[in-house]
Structure 1
Amino acid sequence: MVAFLTKTEGNDDFADIVDFLNASSIRYSLTVNPTVYVSNIKQFWSTAKTKTANNETQIYAKVAGKSVVVTESSVRSDLQFNDEDGATCLTNVEIFENLALMGYERDSDKLSFEKALFSPHWKYLIHTILHCLSSKSTAWNEFSTNVASAVICLAKGQKFNLNN
């Protein structure tokens, strides 16, 4: 999904978080909107095979008669993450401490978090990351320690390895 990070009359209250996201290291990956044809997707997956070379998993496929190789590093490069040397996940203590600083009030040590317990600005940021960059396995109103770590690192200006 693509984020539209523009300021309009209807989202005046979110102008500062839109500015923050536009200046962030993940802006490109949130807003890139390439044209992808269903026929190309079908061709890709009907011919896709995985191989491991030099300890890296690679997907080999054909699209429009051309060979395509997809690797983790090619995805990082294409989405301009520049996050290979970033943190992969914060400790539970770091997560709880930092989420508390962001106004999150937790009742338990549960390791899934609820968007509803944040201010509208943090909800917007979390929502954007969930929809654009996350592989969801829970409800849309909840997020995991991985997403929590990404939000915290983004807020603190630290690199976070989004692919792990």
Structure 2
Amino acid sequence: MTLTFADTHNMITYLTKSDANEGFNQIIDFLNGSSIKYALTVNPNIYVSCIKQFWTSVTVKKVNNVIRLQALVDKKKVIIIEASIRDALCLDDAEGIECLRNEEIFIELARIGYEKPSTKLTFYRAFFSIQ
């Protein structure tokens, strides 16, 4: 199997609201309202040349029953194994990924300071002028 780099592909996914992800609207609001949106959409620091070098030179190897991706990037050997990905992403569960319930997600968002936008509509007299 040969892996190749696609010249036209989506490097950044931008979250938008839809009926399919209705339960995650608060998370989408949080991401769109934070500096994460700017970092991902306005000024992403993506090294396309490194990505291209990786995907054009990558091979899949099995060493001591561990499958790894091995590539050459800027004349340096790069080896990626599942354990290094799990470590970098802080995935402690070696057996799989645990999905949190929406309630748990919103509790943690509140803990870090995200406040749910108010659903009430308030009119202030000072903002209206008599026509």
Task: Please state which band the TM-score falls in when normalised by the shorter chain.
Answer: 0.3 to 0.5
TM-score, L = length of structure 1: 0.35
Higher relative contact order (CA 8 A, sep 6+): 1
Query: Higher Cα Rg: structure 1 or 2?
Result: 2
TM-score, L = length of structure 2: 0.42
